[in-house]
Amino acid sequence: MARDTKDNHWKEDFPIPELESTQVSRRDFAKFLCLVSGGLATGTGYVAIKANFFPPEKIVNEHFVCKKDELPIGGTKAFVISGSDIPYILIHLEDGQFRSYEQKCTHLSCAVFYLPGSGRIECPCHNGWFDALTGEALEGPPPRPLPRLDVVIKGMDVYVKAYEPSNKAVV
Ligand code: FES
């Protein structure tokens, strides 16, 4: 029998009925589900352990973030501190104050976002909410407040430094 085209060779070499080739056995499907579930459980466990059992990085000195006029009222700026890989956000609240928090939700480390005009920070992963003024967890699964930085304004420059609850120099 002559072959029609170059593309059909595999059909002659591997004569598998089409129905059989698309069928997935229950056992193979269960194996696949176990593999995916195991991977997800391992990843979630790693994130939870890292977030809850490792001490937070110590921040020393002040770190320049941006010029004051770069951030309009209700605006946010994402940044990292040099030498660290922790993401932070700087928020210019509607009342003129600045706040800065880690941009990782305290539930499972999803990125959080300020919702302009609401005074609240949202975690879209599981509908978690934080107070933008204090970082306190308000609703949803987050178990702790967002880790916070102090914001220091020097002229037109905005700096952040390690959070000290008694610090009077911050805004
Ligand atoms: S990761 Fe933010 S609410 Fe779950």
128 lines ligand 1 (CB under 6 A): yes
Which class does domain 63-162 fall in? mainly beta
Determine what percent of the chain is predicted with pLDDT higher than 70: 89
Ligand 1 atom nearest the C-alpha of 140 is: 3
User: What are the structural domain ranges in the chain?
Assistant: 7-53, 63-162
- pLDDT, tens digit, for every residue of 24-45? 788 888 888 999 999 999 988 8
pLDDT value of residue 71: 95
Residue 107 CB–ligand 1 contact under 6 Å = yes
pLDDT at 17 exceeding the cut of 60? yes
pLDDT at residue 167 greater than cutoff 70: no
What is the chain's mean pLDDT, rounded? 88
What letter represents residue 73's amino acid? Answer: I
142 lines ligand 1 (CB under 6 A): yes
Question: pLDDT above 90 covers what percent of the chain?
Answer: 61
Partners of 123 in the β-ladder: 128
Name which residue sits closest to atom 1 of ligand 1, judged by CA. 108
Cα 93 to ligand 1 centre (Å):
23
Asked if pLDDT for residue 11 goes beyond 80, the answer is no
End-to-end, the C-alpha distance of the chain in Å comes to: 85
User: What is the band of 87 on the pLDDT scale with cuts at 50, 70, 90?
Assistant: very high
Q: Which residue has the higher pLDDT, 88 or 171?
A: 88
Q: For the segment 119-141, what is each residue's pLDDT rounded down to a tens digit?
A: 999 999 999 999 999 999 999 99
Q: How far is the CA of 72 from the centre of ligand 1 (A)?
A: 27
How large is the average pLDDT for residues 160-169? Answer: 78
The C-alpha angle with vertex 12 and arms to 9 and 15, in degrees rounded to 5, equals 130
- b/e sequence 114-140, b meaning 16+ C-beta within 10 Å: bebeeebbbbebeebbbebeebebeee
